[in-house]
Structure 1
Amino acid sequence: MVSFKKIITSVTIGAVLICQHGAAQTNAPTIDTKAAAATAVVYKPSAYSGVTSVNYIRTWEPRQPYIFESDVISSSRLVTQVGHSSQYADGLGRPLQMVNWQSSPGQKDLITPSVYDPFGRETYKFIPYTATGIDGFLKTDPFGDQSTFYGTTYQTQQSAYTNEAIYYRKTVFEASPLNRISKSFAPGNNWAGTEGGAVERAVNTQYLLNAVSDSVRIWAITNNALTYNGGDASTNIPVSGNLYRAGQLYKSVTIDEHGNSVVEYKDNEKHVVLKKVQLAATPGSAHIGWLCTYYVYDDFGNLRFVIPPKAVQAMLVNGIWDLTAGNNVIIAELCFRYEYDGRRRMIAKKVPGAGWVYMIYDKRDRLVFTQDANMG
């Protein structure tokens, strides 16, 4: 092994090439569906002005053996011998532009520019593009070059992208100091281009509090000692007798571009106590029409029990919120269980359909012994 006087970090950029020879394509579309025109105003920042010197971090990746550092960073190296990338930063140390030297399939520079709003947020995230140059240096008009690449060069190669004009992701933040995301648009006319239109195709996030109609169950669990002999099936089983009152939980609703929702409820310690994924086209406000997963924690915040959707559905069918109903089949076959010692180390776990797995640690908190159900 050869040691350098300095550390040369590396970033690996991989490419996958799939080749077919003599294969016929079936069910291929006979026409290209062009992108619809964007309803949103296209955002394109101006070129950099007054650029004299910019801070950057350059990373080299040797692709063959070298003895000295000077051999690796030599400007005479070909991209097949040594690859390098340069991360340029603005005056505040924020990423300004990433230049991957000759990293495109045609061995051109691959550029990823960044831009920030007055609050320092990356509202627009521009997708990478292939530059015309091969020097690996900062590009002074990356946004104009990107527009030229995707608007002319790329559309010549891919006619289906004709009319595309939006080459960035768009994030809309709520008007508060919390800077929480309220909308997120994917790149393209059919996504970010729909902002402000009659039908917006975005991922929307709502930040609410739970209501009584949500019917979120309160689960309590004990912390009794285990027997470690496989007879712990009925030890530390959660019980639920009450519902959370209105306003006790943080409720976040994420609605994707197709109108499907994912709802999460968190307690005051930010533990997710219930996650609901929309199943029916018109679900109810509680559990009907949702895939519901409950997470049960002890007083120390350790995750002790996970009650998956099938277990929740079984209790709904039984008409009683009791995990032990039906001879403990729900617990044994559908639930995840975890146990901890006084130092919050996991000492036992059980996954659906399997027996207990016990764990023992030494004084340095290292796992030294594991016993599954077949070893009992």
Structure 2
Amino acid sequence: MKKLLIPAGALLLSNLVFGQASTTENYVQTKTYLDYNGTTPTKTSETVQYFDGLGRPKQIVNVKASPLGRDVVTHIEYDQFGRQVKDYLPVPQGNTLNGAIIPNPLSNAAGTPYGPEKIYSEKILENSPLDRIQQQIQVGNDWSNKPVKFEYAANIGNDAYKFVPTTIWENGATKTTLT
């Protein structure tokens, strides 16, 4: 009986270890079945989202999502205060690792259709606990010198008006004035 259980157990454990995307990273693997042919799926969409030690997303891998069947990775990074100030475009990789984490996903950006373009939008935040956006710079080299600027101010003096309606009944008709 032991001669049968040990090889069968080793076979099952080897498939279990092979099925994991990573043994050292926190991740959530999602598989969506898009089409069925009878009882077997013919099209699937698989995504693996990796998290850092604080539970923040750090990388999203779309498994075999490019037209050539390669992984497409969205890199997520944070500044020293834990804010996400850069939003990267998804970068197709040179091959597929079947959902495993890509150590340096941005190194493949030059060989993609993006070319030498800037592949992230960035937010410039004010230095306060409110973290309000001061400027936002869009994706691409042409938008680097054309940021969208935000301004925050308080109302002073006559910036806000208060209208008080006054209604008078005269000869069966109403007359309303604003003061």
Do both share a fold (TM > 0.5)?
Answer: yes
Q: Which residue of structure 2 lines up, in the alignment, with residue 64 of structure 1? A: 35
Distance 1:184 1:130 in 2: 25
- Whether 1:210 and 2:162 are equivalent positions in the alignment is no
Taking structure 2 as the reference length, what is the TM-score of the superposition?
Answer: 0.70
- Whether 1:139 and 2:83 are equivalent positions in the alignment is no
1:130 Cα deviation (Å)? 0.9
Secondary structure at 1:183's aligned position in 2? strand
Distance 2:130 2:37 in 1: 50
- Label 1:53 to 1:240 Cα distance change in 2 as closer, same or farther (>3 A): farther
Q: Where does structure 2 lack aligned partners over 5 or more consecutive residues?
A: 1-21, 166-173
The letter of the residue matching 2:124 is V
Taking structure 1 as the reference length, what is the TM-score of the superposition?
Answer: 0.35
Q: Which residue of structure 1 lines up, in the alignment, with residue 65 of structure 2? A: 103
- Label 1:220 to 1:95 Cα distance change in 2 as closer, same or farther (>3 A): farther
1:64 Cα deviation (Å)? 3.0
- Whether 1:173 and 2:135 are equivalent positions in the alignment is no
Q: Which residue of structure 2 lines up, in the alignment, with residue 189 of structure 1? A: 141
1:117 Cα deviation (Å)? 0.6
Distance 1:133 1:240 in 2: 70
Secondary structure at 1:108's aligned position in 2? coil
Q: Which has the higher strand share?
A: 2
1:95 Cα deviation (Å)? 0.6
- How many aligned positions are there? 148
The letter of the residue matching 2:119 is Y
Q: Which residue of structure 2 lines up, in the alignment, with residue 154 of structure 1? A: 113
Q: Where does structure 1 lack aligned partners over 5 or more consecutive residues?
A: 1-50, 73-79, 156-160, 195-200, 222-233, 242-376
1:260-271 mapped onto 2 (5 Å cutoff): none
- Label 1:63 to 1:217 Cα distance change in 2 as closer, same or farther (>3 A): same
Secondary structure at 1:59's aligned position in 2? strand
Q: Which residue of structure 1 lines up, in the alignment, with residue 91 of structure 2? A: 129
1:99 Cα deviation (Å)? 0.8
1:240 Cα deviation (Å)? 4.7
1:302-313 mapped onto 2 (5 Å cutoff): none
1:110 Cα deviation (Å)? 1.5
Residue pair 1:174, 1:181 contacting (<8 A) in 2 also? yes
1:66 Cα deviation (Å)? 8.5
Distance 1:114 1:129 in 2: 12
1:139 Cα deviation (Å)? 0.7
Distance 1:118 1:217 in 2: 43
Q: Percent identity?
A: 29
Residue pair 1:218, 1:240 contacting (<8 A) in 2 also? no
1:84 Cα deviation (Å)? 0.9
1:137 Cα deviation (Å)? 2.1
The letter of the residue matching 1:109 is D
1:1-376 mapped onto 2 (5 Å cutoff): 53-65=24-36, 80-134=42-96, 135-146=98-109, 148-149=110-111, 153-154=112-113, 164-191=116-143, 193-194=144-145, 201-212=146-157, 214=159, 216-219=160-163, 240-241=178-179
